[in-house]
Amino acid sequence: MDQIQVTRSSMPDIEEYTNEIRDLWDSHWLTNMGTKHMQFQSELESLLGVEHVALYCNGHLALENILEAIKLPAGGEIITSPFTFASTTHAIIRCGFKPVFCDIDPETYTIDVNKIEALITDRTVAVVPVHVYGNICDVEKIDEIAKKHNLKVIYDAAHAFAVTYKGKSSAVFGDASMFSFHATKVFNTIEGGAVCYHDDSLEQRLKDLKNFGIHSAEEVAYVGGNAKMNEFCAAMGICNLRHLDEEIKKRGAVVAKYRELLSGIKGIRLCREQEDVVPNYAYFPVVFDREEFGADRDEVFHKLEENGICARKYFYPITTAFDCYKGRFDPNDTPVALDISLRVLTLPLYADLALEDVERICNIILSLQRR
């Protein structure tokens, strides 16, 4: 029996992609903001309803660049969540800021907005909340706090592409939002990312940061790096956008089957569906309580692995528990995030996952249930 991966990249038919890139063999223009790049950028701005989109070779450099471009006071504190991928914390630190970790909401696993203000000091310059598993942060409360304390808000929206809240795209909240288009995401460009933002003045700064500060063949006006999206990745994005609604619909059917089979099981906690949110079904996290269920997260993980099914301990460890930050941060400062990280498992989820395989996955999990 074939192994079931935790995710599988969505791809257009090969003929569609080769047709999309065919003219690159005529132009030989493979990078440096060519026609595919500009077309993809324009299509994203229209889809997401934002004034500006800057495309990147990956989401991490997109996040680093917006943190630098927005011109926050050097060395300031940024309130964020440790329940996230390595990129979020690494970007803050690599850009010279001090992360201050806020615990998470036990229902949505996003930043606990009721604990943010207690962490604000005269050194706080921004908040970097993380939309988790496609769950949207309490954007209204965060906006209220930011305005009260004059703070910038940059969302790590890597999990939230195409999610809407009260009819608005997740891209429009805060001062900026970063998206990842990595191959494992709901929507991918093979590798890639983007920053969505409102402030017109950021446009040139972001161009400078991602293209060596080059303004012309003879003028280099800024000390920038190289983070441009190439034409082949942009072409993949153009193709995958055509199928986005269909892909999300298929993922939704997989999630519905998981919910049907796992809801109401003692010792299994599923994320509640958020009000006023149209989801993208990015991930399907399950939190296990050994005392009630009869097996812990790691036992379930290994049982699935024995049966050729790859689940993921995601996010584990939380970033404050990373080896590279040992002695610098204390994971116990965010007890809810720490607890969830020790008990959560994201199950296989992708558009082409057969519902029969979902049933098999659930049957294996439920075979460990205390009778």
Distance separating alpha carbons of residues 76 and 98, to the nearest angstrom? 6
Provide the pLDDT for residue 194: 98
Phi, psi of 79, rounded to the nearest 5 degrees: -80, 130
Q: 94 pLDDT exceeds 90?
A: yes
Name the phi and psi angles at 308, rounded to 5: 75, 25
Nearest CA to 158 out of 254, 243, 61, 239 is that of: 61
**Position 2 confidence tier, pLDDT thresholds 50, 70, 90:** confident
pLDDT digits (tens, 9 = 90+) for 273-293: 999 999 999 999 999 999 999
Measured CA to CA, the distance from residue 257 to residue 35 in angstroms comes to 41
Q: Where are the beta strands (DSSP E) in 110-212?
A: 124-128, 152-156, 164-165, 168-169, 176-180, 193-197
pLDDT digits (tens, 9 = 90+) for 31-86: 999 999 999 999 999 999 999 999 999 999 999 999 999 999 999 999 999 999 99
pLDDT in tens, 220-274: 999 999 999 999 999 999 999 999 999 999 999 999 999 999 999 999 999 999 9
> What whole-number distance in Å separates Cα of residue 89 and Cα of residue 100?
10
pLDDT at 150 over 80: yes
- Segments of the chain assigned to CATH 3.40.640.10: 14-242
| Residue environment code for 265-280, b if the CB has 16+ CB neighbours within 10 A, otherwise e | bebbbbbeebeebebb
Among residues 232, 197, 254, which one has the least CA distance to residue 32?
232
DSSP 211: B
pLDDT of residue 71: 93
Q: What is the overall mean pLDDT for the chain? A: 97
H or E segment and range at residue 100: strand 98-101
C-alpha–C-alpha distance, residues 146 and 174, integer Å: 9
**pTM for the full predicted model:** 0.97
- Burial class from Cβ neighbours inside 10 Å (0-12, 13-18, 19+) for residue 313 reads middle
A 10 A CB-CB count for 347 gives 25
The CATH architecture that domain 14-242 belongs to is 3-Layer(aba) Sandwich (3.40)
Instruction: Indicate where the chain has its CATH 3.90.1150.10 domain(s).
Output: 244-366
> Which CATH class, in words, describes the domain spanning 244-366?
alpha beta
Residue 285: its H or E element = strand 285-288
Confidence grade of residue 1 (pLDDT, cut at 50, 70, 90): low
CA distances from residue 231 to 98, 149, 224, 225, 253 in whole angstroms, order as listed: 35, 41, 21, 18, 33
Percent of the chain residues topping a pLDDT of 90: 99
Check pLDDT > 70 for residue 19: yes
